[in-house]
Structure 1
Amino acid sequence: MKIHHNTAATFAREFRNWRIWATRAVVMATACAAGLMVAAFTWAGESAIELFMRLFAGQPVAALVWTPCCAGAIVWITRRWFSAAAGSGIPQVMAALDPGATPAVTSRLVSIRLSIAKVALTTWGLLAGLSLGREGPSVQVAAGIMLSARRWLPERTAVSAHGLLVAGGAAGIAAAFNTPLAGIMFAIEELSRTPEQRNSGLLMSAIVLAGLMAVSIYGNATYFGIIRATGIDWSLLLPGLVVAVLSGLAGGVFSRLLQASLLGQGKDGLSRLRAAHPVAFAVLCGLLVAVIGLVSAGATFGSGYGHTRAMVAGREAVPALFFLLKFAATWLTTWSGVPAGIFAPSLAIGAALGNDVAQWFHLPSATALIALGMVGFLAAATQAPLTSFIIVMEMVDGHAMVLSLMACAMIARTIAKVISAPLYAVLAQQQLANAASRV
């Protein structure tokens, strides 16, 4: 009788309590909306950079006017109406998740209004040819949509604003990369700060569902294609170790450079110009990005998705200085103050580093080292090794490189940790302070 009583009580709790099912329906519906928004963001971003490249092919010198003018306009609009939309978007979500963030602060950092602005301004940045990614911005976009579910949830629901932010931010990564598992790991590694959120089946389901929205539209294909790494043996030990160390050093320097630039720690003339005249500084950064793009024959414009995909497929030999040029273009774009992510550019920079090391060692196939470079630089720049590992692991055809990728991510992150504090955590504190000062 006791077993029958417990079963009946459980059945009643699950199927007679309308609040449970209303909560599930709202969260799942909002997750679908978040996934669809990120999928639309993907289409808009790719269309924007394709249009820019067509214009560049016809009139390359026009980029010297178009790119800086767009950069200045984007920064002016961002600072005037959408100040919390500047930068990646990941620090904003992390700041909103801070225990010290009040509801007023959270609404200044993450909202539907900011999500729409983030999509429009980041897409405009790609149309301008700036070196940026949309994956970080997708985190803020999806988090804003998920947080909006609060108004439709029933009273006394067990789903908190904190949980919605975690699910939304992770859903952004899941949908942006077509990798739901990477979204869950991102939630655990970067966003979640309480054990109960990590074990919430409903919120994890929301992350996966948002990721599946992108899969249903774009197919079960990886964002950068498939890495068919062949000839994996002990001969790659030394080159692989070189890639891990160099990517850790480069990613650590990149992270520290971004922090010094964005936090205004520099005492040089450019930092003073940025503080006093941010729009003029953005125009200058846009001009430098355009010059770098001309030098690289257009290779450094945009997220780097096309060139990375070509490298992964072994169809393209990038310019010899692509690593340094893409590094500089991404730094300048981020420093300018436009809404911009660094995930895709970091993967492009890491792929170029791996390709360069393969050339130094005269290896016939560079695909394995390209994969190691991608995971190493991304792990070092973001100090999120498990998320980086899963994102790149999804691209590898077969499991021969799984342990190598994980080892490379850990080595690179360890080296970067010595050089730089965690990028997103530092920037999140800045976002929190800025938002609190405006309340």
Structure 2
Amino acid sequence: MEVKNKHNTYNTLFHWHSFKLKLVFEGIVVGILTGLLIVLYRYALEKAGVLLSDIYKIIAIKPILILPWIGALIIIGYIVGLMVKHEPMISGSGIPQVEGVLLRKLDMTWWRVILGKFIGGILSIGSGLSLGREGPSVQLGAAVGQGFSRVFKRVKIEEKYLITSGASAGLAAAFNAPLAGVMFALEEVHKNFSPLVLLSSLSAALSADFIASGFFGLKPVFTLGKLTTLPLNLYFYIILLGVLLGVLGVVFNNILLKTQNLYAAQKWLPKEMKIIIPLLISVVIGIFLPQVLGGGHELITSLITNNFSLTILVIVVIVKFLFTMASFGSGAPGGIFLPLLAIGALIGNVYGMALVNFIHFDSIYINNFIILAMAGYFAAVVRSPITGTILITEMTGTFSHLLSLAIVSIVAYIVADILGSKPIYESLLEKILHNQGEKISIGNKKNKSILEFAVCMGSDLDGKQIKEIKWPSRCLLVAVKRGEDEIIPKGDTVIFPGDYLIVLTNEDRVSKINDVLTMITGSCDTLK
């Protein structure tokens, strides 16, 4: 007799054993679709950036035109505000929303997110807000993965991997950085180094990068020219920079969350009007300091090719920081990835210039500090040092600075950890869940889902027999993966670090089981 329910116990387990290779091919398809979408997104943002620059050049010649431009920005802000009010999932970065979907604590309607995030992101970032394309690209890719799963009626476990693959492909296509896309999926989005996640995400990221490279070329995002490698006897200054970035990363996270609270506290201001505030601020900035507008790609490039005075750099970094806070806090669709890299680059430039001016440091190394600070600031804010190191390596197209990048990233990460700062995307997800009353996507009680958990060293399960563990109710441990072996669990089976636990549960219990087993396995996100 044919079993028609794809989500019953038999079919769920059957798919688990049969879809490993299929995930690779599905990842390639999701990567190609995501690559095409992100190419269109990047192209539209580039054209919008050129148009914005031309508008402010015209305003400089004919100041009277500032009035119709303000009127246009008010209309744009109101339209985007209505879109965010109608579909809250398109607000902000998009990365916390993707993590919430994977944890089954948020629900996402893929086609509404694609339309809303695409149009809303172009209107917001294209109008000059200090927001990045990478967060929306990650969410757009995740929505493509979910859409593929829903259209072809894939089982829930497949959907989870396809969403992760799409997220990886989105970042890869946004920055021409496939390895960083994969590492971001492993380190931040999925939060474990599952071989299945690695295979599906890598195939998606490489295919998305192939598509993006076909349109934008093979050159790295930032062309640095030839950089002189920093000698080992000067690495003390890298460690000092890492400490500074760790502290400033904590400041970034705290002020960003407080800015969101400040916007939320203005009860007299309707939600659809809040995005108008940073757009009006952008008019003043566009007239006096246009370099600060947008995500910051051109700003980073200008730091590498031009020499700015220390005073100007300090002013630019302060304005960029405050404008980023105002832009993101409003809830406009756009990420903080690229703006925080721009702020990091500015901090590195200020740091390098200060060394040159006050201790007669060789100015040839200033560009080194620019790229080092980007990686370190990313590690301090996002708390993903491996991703930060690989991302900057790919974006700059040079591996000669891998050691220094890794050192500054880990130092900044440790300092932020000592100061008790949470990863920014984790904090943003908690805020979203709190604001929505943690509305969990319930699912069908009759359907089954498979979950995968990595056992970390020193966790509650480390070295224990299965019978010694108090497992959550209504879940079944169906397999223990150890390397290439898959062990059928027995009462006396001992669990070791590095094992992957395969758990079967009802779909309506996924969120609760996720929380409990993530805690007792000591998964990566609980150790951050």
Same fold (TM over 0.5): yes
Quick one: structure 1 residues 74 and 377, their matched pair in 2 at CA, closer, same or farther if it must change by over 3 Å? farther
1:422 counterpart residue number: 423
Overall identity of the aligned pairs, in %: 27
Partners of 1:422 and 1:381 in 2: CA distance: 6
Q: Deviations over 1:160-201 (max 9, x none)?
A: 111111111111111111011001100110111455465552
Q: Which moved more, 1:164-173 or 1:89-98?
A: 164-173
Quick one: structure 1 residues 380 and 195, their matched pair in 2 at CA, closer, same or farther if it must change by over 3 Å? closer
Q: Deviations over 1:396-420 (max 9, x none)?
A: 4644321110111111122223252
2:89 to 84, 92, 101: 84
Q: What SS does the aligned partner of 2:292 have?
A: coil
Q: Which moved more, 1:54-63 or 1:31-40?
A: 54-63
**Contact 1:67–1:128 (CA<8 Å) still a contact in 2?**
no
Partners of 1:150 and 1:272 in 2: CA distance: 39
Matched, 1:337 2:331: yes
**Contact 1:33–1:145 (CA<8 Å) still a contact in 2?**
yes
TM-score, length-normalised on structure 2? 0.71
Q: Which moved more, 1:133-142 or 1:74-83?
A: 74-83
1:305 to 297, 305, 310: 297
TM-score, length-normalised on structure 1? 0.84
Greater strand proportion: 2
Count of residue pairs brought into register by the alignment: 409
Partners of 1:416 and 1:19 in 2: CA distance: 40
1:160 counterpart residue number: 158
Q: Which moved more, 1:176-185 or 1:189-198?
A: 189-198
2:77 counterpart residue number: 72
2:101 to 70, 73, 96: 96
Q: Residue 322 of structure 1 aligns to which amino acid in structure 2?
A: V
Partners of 2:420 and 2:288 in 1: CA distance: 30
Quick one: structure 1 residues 205 and 253, their matched pair in 2 at CA, closer, same or farther if it must change by over 3 Å? same
Partners of 2:368 and 2:157 in 1: CA distance: 43
Partners of 1:294 and 1:326 in 2: CA distance: 14
Cα shift at 1:25 = 4.9
Of structures 1 and 2, the one scoring higher in RCO (CA 8 A, sep 6+) is 1
**Contact 1:388–1:409 (CA<8 Å) still a contact in 2?**
yes
Quick one: structure 1 residues 274 and 287, their matched pair in 2 at CA, closer, same or farther if it must change by over 3 Å? farther
Q: Where in structure 2 are the equivalents of 1:269-280 lying within 5 Å?
A: 271-273=264-266, 276-280=269-273
**Contact 2:136–2:335 (CA<8 Å) still a contact in 1?**
yes
Greater helix proportion: 1
Partners of 2:132 and 2:275 in 1: CA distance: 17
Unaligned runs of 5+ in 1: 1-16
Partners of 1:426 and 1:198 in 2: CA distance: 27
**Contact 1:142–1:169 (CA<8 Å) still a contact in 2?**
yes
1:359 to 335, 353, 358: 353
Q: Residue 118 of structure 1 aligns to which amino acid in structure 2?
A: K
Q: Residue 150 of structure 2 aligns to which amino acid in structure 1?
A: R
Matched, 1:177 2:175: yes
Matched, 1:317 2:308: yes
Q: Deviations over 1:312-358 (max 9, x none)?
A: 3x235373311111111111100111101111111111111111111
Q: Which moved more, 1:404-413 or 1:389-398?
A: 389-398
1:285 counterpart residue number: 278
1:41 counterpart residue number: 41
Cα shift at 1:250 = 1.6
Partners of 1:360 and 1:216 in 2: CA distance: 41
Q: Deviations over 1:279-330 (max 9, x none)?
A: 444323322333234332x010011111211223x23537331111111111
Cα shift at 1:276 = 4.4
1:9 counterpart residue number: none
Q: Residue 190 of structure 1 aligns to which amino acid in structure 2?
A: E
2:122 counterpart residue number: 123
Q: What SS does the aligned partner of 1:131 have?
A: coil
Cα shift at 1:18 = 11
